[in-house]
Amino acid sequence: MRKIEKIIFGLLLAFFCFAAAAPSKIVKIPTGLEWLEKSIGERFDDVLACMALLNQNNVPMNQTPDDYYNDLEKKLKRNPGLNDVEITVILADSLYEKEPSSRPAVDRLRSETSP
């Protein structure tokens, strides 16, 4: 593992430990347009929150937060039709497309949340 990956892993581990120990609070997940209008730091925080939410639902993720951030940004800039979609849904769809190991968990989430 490269040094930067170790640092990122440590930060993520600390984030998840803190999130697990912190009292529950409602986090509003932004839509694509809302996310694009935020600062870089706020966007990154939102990506971490989405990752934490997906992690809590046992969705495997094999890339770094930076990778997911860049993927979200590219998807939203290329497809304005996603402006009204929550970024967690966009990220889950991206995981489904690019990370086959996540497909069973994403399918389960879709079936649990569909009307």
Residue 64: which of 3, 5, 1, 2 has the closest Cα?
5
Give the dihedral of Cα atoms 31, 32, 38, 41; nearest 10 deg: 100
Domain assignment present for residue 34? The answer is yes
Domain assignment present for residue 7? The answer is no
Residues 6+ apart with CB under 8 A from 36: 73, 76, 77, 83
Please tell me the total count of domains within the chain: 1
pLDDT band at 64 (very low <50, low <70, confident <90, very high): very high
Domain that holds residue 100: 24-113
Domain assignment present for residue 107? The answer is yes
Domain assignment present for residue 50? The answer is yes
Contact 42, 28 (CB under 8 A): no
CA dist list (Å): 19 to 38, 49, 52, 75: 22, 9, 8, 28
Domain assignment present for residue 16? The answer is no
Name residue, tokens 């966009």: 90
What is the rounded distance in angstroms from the CA atom of residue 11 to the CA atom of residue 13? 5
Domain assignment present for residue 81? The answer is yes
pLDDT tens figures, 10-46: 555 555 544 544 445 566 889 999 999 999 999 999 9
Domain assignment present for residue 70? The answer is yes
pLDDT tens figures, 82-115: 999 999 999 999 999 999 999 999 999 888 876 6
What is the pTM assigned to this prediction? Answer: 0.74
| 92 backbone dihedrals φ, ψ, rounded to 5° | -60, -40
